Structures are given as C-alpha cells and as structure tokens.
C-alpha cells in the first residue's frame, strides 16, 4: 500500500519573570527551527560509497529535511550481509554527525514482523491464520452443491429457519457430505441456513498476498509471542550486535510499518474473516472456561445477547494478544536500548478495519512511544479520515503521557491523477496542515515535493518545522472527550463478507457495525468543522481518570463534556466513573444508544441501573445527561454551545480548522485555512489579554489585533500564541 523509494524534541519553556531575551530566543528558533522539528525522508537503499552517502545527506539538508528513516540495504542475503551492515552504520553515524535525526526502519519492505521472510522459512507453522465464515440460505426440497470454504473445514451445518429465526437445536452436520470441494446435500422442504466455518492461512486476498515492491511474502501471526521474540532476535539484536553500543545512542526511534493480524480482506472473498491462531482458543478456554469451538456458530451468527457477549470476549482476547505479544514486547526490548518505539499501523482510519486487524487499535497505540498513521495521498479531497486517525493516535499518546505522533506520507494514487507526479505542493501543504491540526508532530516521508527545487523544498520543510515547534509543546486544551466505542463495535462485528473501498474504508460487513462506524466519523467531523477541540478516550482512560471540580481528569488533561457515540457496551468501572462525573456537574451526551451491557453481562443490571439513574428526572445527575436518539450535527453543535463557552470563535468557520494547546500556562491556537482560496477571518479570543501572531509561512511575529481581520492565503496557517 505504499511506494518504496530510495528527536529529540527541543522543549520550549517560558518561565515567569524572564526578560525579553527569552522571547527573542524563541522567535529566533521559530524563524530557524532546529532540525528535529523538520520532516524526515525515508531512505531504504542508501549508497554504499561514503562520498555518495554524504552527498545524499547534504542534499537533504539543503532541502530542509531534518533526518532519515533508514535500514540496512535490502539485499538478497538481508540481515546476513556484513558489507551492507557496515555501510548502513556508516550512513547512520554520518547523518547523526551532521545533526540529523535517524529512525531505524525495522523490516525489509512491509508489513513489519517478517524479518524479510526469515521467520516463516524457519517456522512455516507460525503463518498468520483466520477463521472463515459463510452462511447460505436455500429453499428445499432441492439438491445443493455449495462450494466449501478454503482451509480446514471445522463446521458445516444446515439449520432450519422458522419465521426467519435459526433453529440452532435442529442442525444437521454436513461435513461427511463433502465431495470434490463442494457440500452435496438433498435438502428437505423448508428454508435452510447452511453455515460453514473453516480455518486457514491469511494470504490470497489479504495484504500478504499483494505485490509489495516485487515481493509477495507470507506473513507470520503476531498473535504468537514467539514470532515477536524471533523477530527481535533477527532484526533488533542483529543491529545491536553490529553496532556494539546502545541503539538509542544512534537512533531516535524504531519505525514499525503496518504490522497486523492480517485479517482484513482487500477484496470481497464471499466470506467473512476473524483473526485466529491456536493460542486464541487456548486463551479463550483459560479466561472464560469453555471451548471456543463449541461456541463458534453463536460467536459468528447470533445477533442477540449470547453472540454479542461472545464477540466481546473474543475480540478482547485479540486486543490483548496483539498489544502484548507484539507492541509491548518491542517496546520492552527497545527500552533496554534507550530507544523509542514508533511507526504506524494498517488502516488506522477505519474502526471497522481495526477490529479484525488489532482488536483495539488504542491499546496497540498505547504500547508505542510514538504512535503513528500513514497518509496515502497529498490530495486534500481524500484526507479527512486521516484527521480522525491522527487524533486517535495523538489521544492514545496523551493518555500514556507522551506527546509525539508520527505520520508517514506516501502519495501512491497521486501519480495516476497528476500525470506521473505527486499532487501540487500547495495541496500537499493542505494535507500536512490537517495532520498538524490532528496532532501529528513528526513526519517520515515518501513524499518528494516533486514540483519544487531545493529552495522550495526547504521553504516547505521550514514551514512544517515552525508549526511543529510551537504546537508540539504542552497539552491539548480539549474540554470535550469522545469515547472510542470499540467494545460496542466488537459486539456488532459479525464476519460478513467485506472488502476495502479505496484505501481507507471498509465496504460490506455487518450493517450495525457500519452504522456505528459512520456515527463515530460523523461526530468527529462535526467537532472539527465547528472548531471544538477534543480528545478521544478509551475504556481504560475513563477507568484511570478521576472526577474533580466537575471535570473528568486524566494526567494533565481534563474534560467538561463526555460524548458517548452509540455506546451500548462499557465496563462497570467506567460506567461508575461516568455516573460520578454527571453527579459532580460533568456533562454527558449519549447519541443513538445508551449503555446497557458490561464486558461480561448482556445486559448488565449494574450498567443499566447507572443508565436508568442518569435518565431519571428524579436524580441530581439527570440535568447533566443528554440522550439524543439520532445524530443531528446542527443539534449536537447547538447543545455543545449551550454547555460550553468557546475560548476562540472564528467567523466564517467553514473550511477552517483550529487546534489549541496549553504550554507553561499559555494558550497557543493553530488556525489553518483548509481551502485553495484566500479567506478573511474574524477571530475572537475570550481568555487572555495579549497575544502574538506567529506566521509559519514567513517566520515573522507581530501582535494580534482583536478587531483586525485575519487574512490567510490558500492553505495558509497562523499560530496565535498568548504573550
């Protein structure tokens, strides 16, 4: 899904009582931002010759890049070529000596976790697998010949339907009727649902089966801890051995690239998929006390209470295994090397895709020092979803007390639309602006800025560095938290046929799951479009939070309003915190649904009691709980306007995005014109007395004048910072 081409952060701390020289120092750095704030370029095939290496690095510096993400060259004897390793470390050390930031890309191509194919060549039994599901409705009497699912057939059962309901207790086993790859059966009269479940490798029709820079390598299962152990031995420890010192002395962070369970079909295969490996069944039996195979039909087919409960149990295991067996193992090892972990995942834009790929992407992001996203175009018309994925990654980082978020920009589809080139630089600026608003602070690019000479590339890189320098510091000033409703998505995610639409959306699948995904996207877009600063919070985040002074507090973050988009399932502990939040004056907005299930009971009497108290006019918290049966963007915006007074008001608000941070007690607002035409804005800031405008296009600073219109050119930005 990408084209393969050949820091530390300097904190800005303002102390009360310092002289003007401190401001002059910051202003100087703003005009000439330090290299760690600049974008990096991905270099997978550095030249072997020292002179050519230095020429490449010097050219990157001339173009304003701050560093590289790189790896030992991808030779046929990858990870075993001593000359390639020697050349690689010479290249990395030369970059560091020039003041550049170096990221360690950890794979030969993508997705990460294969060690260039060495892992499966040693252990083919570790290949990624899935459970496949298909149901077929027929009307008898008739003679059937239904194609069997690929892989190892586990279940093939015909169930009678009565008034549209499956009669599970009257099923007929058809496995003995398998002939020539088809289920041959003389169906009696009536309507029948034939259910098939099998297990098999995730290859044909999945990312592993796509051509990735000339290679189509099978992929190991990251659900297995031994896969990551071997990956670390083959890659990280090999780098450590050759380096002879801590990797953190040379590299800023690792760069993992699209590791996943592999369980999201790229094309409609005619059947649904769940991620699976034998240890999933083992964990299921150990945690819940019954055999997974005995519950497979209800897990995949039942839309009622039993099915929802089983799916929540199943995907909670997937989430735990993915986050602990890959991401946590990588982080724990990197900490022995004083090395950060970073990179991006696959299809971060879609909750529908992230459930089969990760179980819970928030829990995986939480195990990364620098969680990240990829952006597969620099055409603004196609990048609104990346504002959501960027904010999810940023929110996960903030919940862990981290501040950096990475983006890998790889404009694959642009070339077909723009005569073999990337989209114009102005459009690229608009796409980068959206990511900066979302919370991205670090860029590792395949974007080449092909329309620019060296001076133009340097100007673009300097612009990005200026914004990143001022907006990386501090904490997000959001007063609104949006719950990430993954547990409810688990309950609805039945394995119906699905595929990718474009590169960031899932087509098909369960209609209830699709509805929840669209609701989540709609709420997120409404907040962006109306300049409401917000954060996402997960179940763990709510359980970690405390209620103080009518606010939900987590670390340095605090929220006055919590939005529950379609939330039906949530832990009892989180629901207790939400109830206390309402009682103490916090505002909760539930949209489309109200909580009724815990993670173990469907429904939960405890969760339902909390909800009933919130809905009851007799309780104190009722006045702080708002239930909207339908999502109506204007209605939600009006409600938020009644509950909160905006600190900054921008008119006109259309095609304008705003992000707010607080550093050292001072507010900073990033305002960007998300439009290819100039705009004149009336900007009113209701808190603070004196503000300065910091212009990232020019590096200039000047006073913000309250009654003077603010003019922004096409895709231009301004930062208004409290003096």
- End of a domain among 473, 488, 508? 473
Mean pLDDT over 407-419 rounds to: 94
- Note whether residue 9 is domain-resident: no
At 581, give phi and psi (nearest 5°).
Answer: -55, -45
pLDDT for position 383: 86
**Is the domain of 610 the same as that of 683?**
no
Please name the helix (run of DSSP H) or strand (run of DSSP E) that holds residue 712, with its range, or none: strand 710-712
Residues 522 and 435: their CA atoms lie apart, in Å, by: 18
Residues 255, 381: one domain? yes
Nearest to 129 by CA among 106, 156, 150, 107: 150
Per-residue pLDDT, averaged over 90-113, amounts to: 97
pLDDT number for residue 1: 46
* CA-wise closest residue to 460 among 447, 476, 479, 477: 447
Which residue range is the domain that position 635 belongs to? Answer: 480-643
- The answer as to whether 319 is a domain residue is no
Give domain status of residue 112, yes or no. Answer: yes
Please compute the mean of the pLDDT values over residues 280-289 and round it to a whole number: 97
| Close Cβ partners of 416 (under 8 Å, ≥ 6 residues apart) | none
Same domain as 690, residue 633: no
**Cα 536 to Cα 296: distance, rounded to the nearest angstrom:** 33
pLDDT (tens digit, 9 = 90+) per residue, 618-675? 777 789 999 999 999 999 999 999 999 999 999 999 999 999 999 989 999 999 999 9
Per 3-state DSSP, the chain is made up of helix, strand and coil in percentages (nearest 5) of 40, 25, 35
Query: pLDDT tens for residues 568-617?
Result: 999 999 999 999 999 999 999 999 999 999 999 999 999 999 999 999 97
Q: Is residue 287 part of a domain?
A: no
Does residue 554 contact residue 582 with C-beta atoms inside 8 Å?
no
State how many domains the chain has: 4
In terms of domains, do 603 and 695 share one?
no
pLDDT at 17 over 60: no
pLDDT band (50, 70, 90) for residue 384: confident
pLDDT band at 7; cut points 50, 70, 90: very low
Burial call 645-669: b when 16+ CB within 10 Å, e when fewer: ebbbebeeeeebbbbbbebeeebbb
**Over residues 403-409, mean pLDDT:** 97
Q: Are residues 358 and 503 in the same domain?
A: no
DSSP characters over 11-61? -----TT--HHHHHHHHHHHHS--GGGSPEEEESS--SSHHHHHHHHHHHH
Model confidence at 98, pLDDT cuts 50, 70, 90, reads very high
Q: Any alpha helices (H) in 128-277, and if so which ranges?
A: 225-234, 236-243
**What pLDDT score was predicted for residue 451?**
96
pLDDT at 16: 33
Provide the CATH number for the domain around residue 663.
2.60.40.1180
Across 211-215, 407-411, 643-647, least confident range: 211-215
Q: Do residues 414 and 354 share a domain?
A: yes
- Report the CATH number at residue 370: 3.20.20.60
**Mean pLDDT for the stretch of residues 3-21:** 34
Residue where one domain finishes, among candidates 439, 473, 507:
473
Question: What is the pLDDT, as a whole number, of residue 132?
Answer: 98
pLDDT beyond 70 at 391: yes
Q: The sheet that has 691-694: what strands, in order across it?
A: 475-476, 656-663, 666-673, 717-722, 691-694, 701-703
Quote the pTM value: 0.95
Residues 92 and 72 in one domain: yes
Domain boundary among 628, 643, 658: 643
Closest to 325 measured CA to CA, from 261, 411, 415, 402: 261
Query: What is the token pair recorded at 518?
Result: 């669209």
**Do 503 and 633 lie in a common domain?**
yes
Range 139-146 average pLDDT: 94
The helix (H) or strand (E) run that includes residue 87 is helix 82-97
- Percent of the chain's residues with pLDDT above 70: 97
* Alpha carbons 486 and 33: distance in angstroms, whole number: 39
CA-to-CA distance for 661 and 139, rounded, in angstroms? 62
Alpha carbons within 13 angstroms on the beta-carbon side of residue 556 total 17
Omega prior to 652 cis, within 30 of 0: yes
pLDDT digits (tens, 9 = 90+) for 532-576: 999 999 999 999 999 999 999 999 999 999 999 999 999 999 999
Q: Which residues contact 248 (CB under 8 A, 6 or more apart)?
A: 334, 337, 338, 339, 340
Based on the fold, state whether residues 343 and 415 are members of the same structural domain: yes
Can you tell me the mean pLDDT for 503-528?
Answer: 95
In a domain, 281, yes or no: no
Indicate whether 456 and 493 sit together in one domain.
no
For residue 286, tell me if it sits in a domain.
no
- Specify the DSSP class assigned to residue 380: G
The percent of residues above 90 in pLDDT, for the chain, comes to: 91
pLDDT at 214: 80
Lowest mean pLDDT among 13-27, 132-146, 410-424: 13-27
322 domain residue, yes or no: no
Rounded distance between C-alpha atoms, residue 662 and residue 218, angstroms: 46
Whether residue 336 lies inside any domain: the answer is yes
- For residues 138 and 169, membership in a common domain is answered with yes
Cβ–Cβ under 8 Å, residues 220 and 160? no
The answer to whether residues 346 and 437 belong to one domain is yes
């Amino acid at each position: 899904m990408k084209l393969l081409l050949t820091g530390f952060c300097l904190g800005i701390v303002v102390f009360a009582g310092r002289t003007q020289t401190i401001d002059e120092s910051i202003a100087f750095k703003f005009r000439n931002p330090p290299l760690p704030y600049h974008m990096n370029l991905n270099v997978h095939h550095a030249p072997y010759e020292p002179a050519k290496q230095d020429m490449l690095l010097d050219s990157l510096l001339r173009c304003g890049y701050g560093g590289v993400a790189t790896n030992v060259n991808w030779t046929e004897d990858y990870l075993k070529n001593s000359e390639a390793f020697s050349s690689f470390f010479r290249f990395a050390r030369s970059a560091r000596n020039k003041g550049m930031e170096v990221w360690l890309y950890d794979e030969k191509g993508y997705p990460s976790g294969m060690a260039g194919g060495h892992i499966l060549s040693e252990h083919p039994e570790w290949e990624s697998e899935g459970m496949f599901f298909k149901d077929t409705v027929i009307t008898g009497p008739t003679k059937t010949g239904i194609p069997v699912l690929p892989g190892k057939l586990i279940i093939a059962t015909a169930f009678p339907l009565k008034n549209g309901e499956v009669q599970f207790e009257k099923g007929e086993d058809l496995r003995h009727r398998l002939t020539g790859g088809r289920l041959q059966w003389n169906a009696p009269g009536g309507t029948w649902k034939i259910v098939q479940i099998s297990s098999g490798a995730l290859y044909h029709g999945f990312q592993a089966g796509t051509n990735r820079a000339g290679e189509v390598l099978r992929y190991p299962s990251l659900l297995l801890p031994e896969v990551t152990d071997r990956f670390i031995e083959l890659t990280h420890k090999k780098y450590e051995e050759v380096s002879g010192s801590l990797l953190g002395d040379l590299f800023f962070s690792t760069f993992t690239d699209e590791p996943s369970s592999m369980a999201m079909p790229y094309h409609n295969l005619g059947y649904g998929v769940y991620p699976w490996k034998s240890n999933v069944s083992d964990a299921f039996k150990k945690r819940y006390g019954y055999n997974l195979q005995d519950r497979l039909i209800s897990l995949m087919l039942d839309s009622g209470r039993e099915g929802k409960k089983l799916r929540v149990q199943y995907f909670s295991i997937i989430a735990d295994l993915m986050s602990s067996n890959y991401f946590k193992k990588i982080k724990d090892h990197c900490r022995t090397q004083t090395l950060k972990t970073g990179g991006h995942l696959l299809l971060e834009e879609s909750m529908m895709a992230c459930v089969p790929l990760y179980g819970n992407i928030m829990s995986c992001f939480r195990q990364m020092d620098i969680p990240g996203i990829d952006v597969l175009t620099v055409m603004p018309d196609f990048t609104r979803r990346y504002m959501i994925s960027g904010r999810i990654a940023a929110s996960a980082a903030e919940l862990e007390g981290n501040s950096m978020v990475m983006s890998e920009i790889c404009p694959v589809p642009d070339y077909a639309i723009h005569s073999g080139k990337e989209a114009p630089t102005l459009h690229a600026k608009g796409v980068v602006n959206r990511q900066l608003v979302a919370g991205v602070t670090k860029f590792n690019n395949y974007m080449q800025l092909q329309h620019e000479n060296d001076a133009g590339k340097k100007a673009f890189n300097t612009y990005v560095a200026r914004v990143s320098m001022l907006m990386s510091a501090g904490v997000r000033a959001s007063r609104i938290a949006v719950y990430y409703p993954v547990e409810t998505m688990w309950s609805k995610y039945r394995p119906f046929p699905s595929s990718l639409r474009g590169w960031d959306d899932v087509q098909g699948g369960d209609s209830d799951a699709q509805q929840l995904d669209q609701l989540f996207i709609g709420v997120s877009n409404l907040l962006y479009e109306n300049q409401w600063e917000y954060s996402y919070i997960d179940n763990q985040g709510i359980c970690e939070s405390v209620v103080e002074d009518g606010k939900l507090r987590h670390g340095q973050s605090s929220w006055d309003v919590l939005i529950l988009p379609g939330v039906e399932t949530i832990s009892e502990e989180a629901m207790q915190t939400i109830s206390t939040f309402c009682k103490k004056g916090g505002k909760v907005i539930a949209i489309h649904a109200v909580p009724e299930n815990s993670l173990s009971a469907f429904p939960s009497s405890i969760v339902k009691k909390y909800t009933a108290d919130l809905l009851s006019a007799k309780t104190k918290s009722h006045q702080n709980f708002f239930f909207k049966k339908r999502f109506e963007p204007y209605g939600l915006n009006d409600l938020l306007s009644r509950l909160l007074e905006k600190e900054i008001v921008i008119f006109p608000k259309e095609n304008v995005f705003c992000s707010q941070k607080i550093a050292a007690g001072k507010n900073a607002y990033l305002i960007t014109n998300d439009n290819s035409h100039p705009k004149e804005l009336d900007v009113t800031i209701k808190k603070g007395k004196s503000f300065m405008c910091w212009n990232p296009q020019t590096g200039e600073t000047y006073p913000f004048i309250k009654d003077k219109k603010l003019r922004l050119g096409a895709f231009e930005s301004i930062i208004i910072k409290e003096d």
